[in-house]
């Protein structure tokens, strides 16, 4: 069993996630999760004709640091992530954080933050409020985003986020 240091994400057009996951398993990944999402398009023409959403699939794979590097290389080549509208791959490292513990640094390493090409911002909002988040992100300079609709059990957990996730969230 490998050490899990990060979560490796890819966001691809609907119908491509199984191929991505299969290729990742060929590279050594032990499994993954596929979620459905919506990409948000920032195009005046598409907005006028009502095509502001693109169906997406999000692949989440637990990885070691070594496997993460290999997946970035192999999947980017195989699925042409360097080209527009082909998808994106990124990794989010695990970091232990418990709110309220004294002496704990709550911010990410500034050198990592300054060198990043993209940023991942995760928000959990009431159903129907996700468009407000996208508008705010665009006002702050983001070019787009991906929405994932979910449902929580309403049971408090601090495994990923120290908050209660109630049913019908975006």
pLDDT tens across 84-130, in order?
Answer: 888 899 998 865 444 455 554 544 444 444 566 667 777 778 888 88
Torsional sign, CA 27, 33, 34, 36: negative
Whether 25 shows a pLDDT value over 70: the answer reads: yes
Do the Cβ atoms of 126 and 170 come closer than 8 Å? yes
**Spatial separation of the C-alpha atoms in residues 15 and 120, rounded to whole Å:** 23
- What pLDDT does residue 163 have? 53
Mean pLDDT, rounded, for 119-146 = 81
How wide is the angle at C-alpha 78 spanned by C-alphas 52 and 63, nearest 5°? 90
Q: Which residues pair with 161 in a beta bridge?
A: none
How wide is the angle at C-alpha 106 spanned by C-alphas 102 and 109, nearest 5°? 130
Average pLDDT of the chain to the nearest whole number: 76
Q: For residue 61, what are its two tokens?
A: 């794979």
Whether 154 shows a pLDDT value over 60: the answer reads: no
Whether 138 shows a pLDDT value over 50: the answer reads: yes
* Right CATH for 1-95 from 3.40.718.10, 3.30.565.10, 3.30.70.120, 2.40.110.10: 3.30.70.120
Whether 54 shows a pLDDT value over 50: the answer reads: yes
Q: Which residue has the higher pLDDT, 132 or 168?
A: 132
Instruction: Give the helix ranges, DSSP H, for 52-161.
Output: 65-79, 110-115, 130-139
Mean pLDDT, rounded, for 132-158 = 74
Per-residue confidence band for 80, with pLDDT thresholds at 50, 70 and 90? very high
User: Where exactly does CATH 3.30.70.120 map onto the chain?
Assistant: 1-95
Under DSSP, is residue 40 helix (H, G, I), strand (E, B) or coil? strand
Q: For residue 72, what are its two tokens?
A: 């970035």
Mean pLDDT, rounded, for 26-49 = 80
Q: Which residue has the higher pLDDT, 161 or 77?
A: 77
The share of the chain scoring above pLDDT 90, in percent, equals: 24
Helix 65-79 vs helix 17-26: angle between axes, to the nearest 10 degrees?
130
Under DSSP, is residue 147 helix (H, G, I), strand (E, B) or coil? strand
């Amino acid at each position: 069993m490998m050490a899990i240091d990060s979560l490796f994400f890819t966001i691809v057009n609907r119908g491509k996630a199984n191929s991505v996951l299969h290729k990742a398993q060929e590279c050594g990944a032990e499994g993954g999760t596929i979620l459905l999402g919506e990409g948000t398009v920032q195009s005046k023409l598409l907005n006028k004709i009502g095509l502001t959403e693109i169906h997406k699939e999000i692949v989440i794979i637990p990885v070691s640091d070594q496997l993460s590097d290999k997946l970035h290389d192999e999947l980017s080549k195989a699925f042409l992530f360097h080209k527009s509208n082909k998808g994106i791959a990124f990794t989010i490292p695990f970091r232990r954080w418990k709110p309220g513990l004294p002496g704990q640094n709550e911010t990410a390493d500034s050198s990592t933050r300054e060198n990043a090409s993209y940023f991942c911002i995760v928000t959990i909002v009431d159903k129907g409020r996700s468009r407000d988040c996208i508008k705010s992100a665009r006002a702050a300079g983001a070019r787009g985003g991906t929405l994932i609709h979910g449902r929580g059990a309403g049971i408090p957990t601090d495994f990923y986020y120290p908050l209660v996730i109630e049913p019908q969230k975006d």
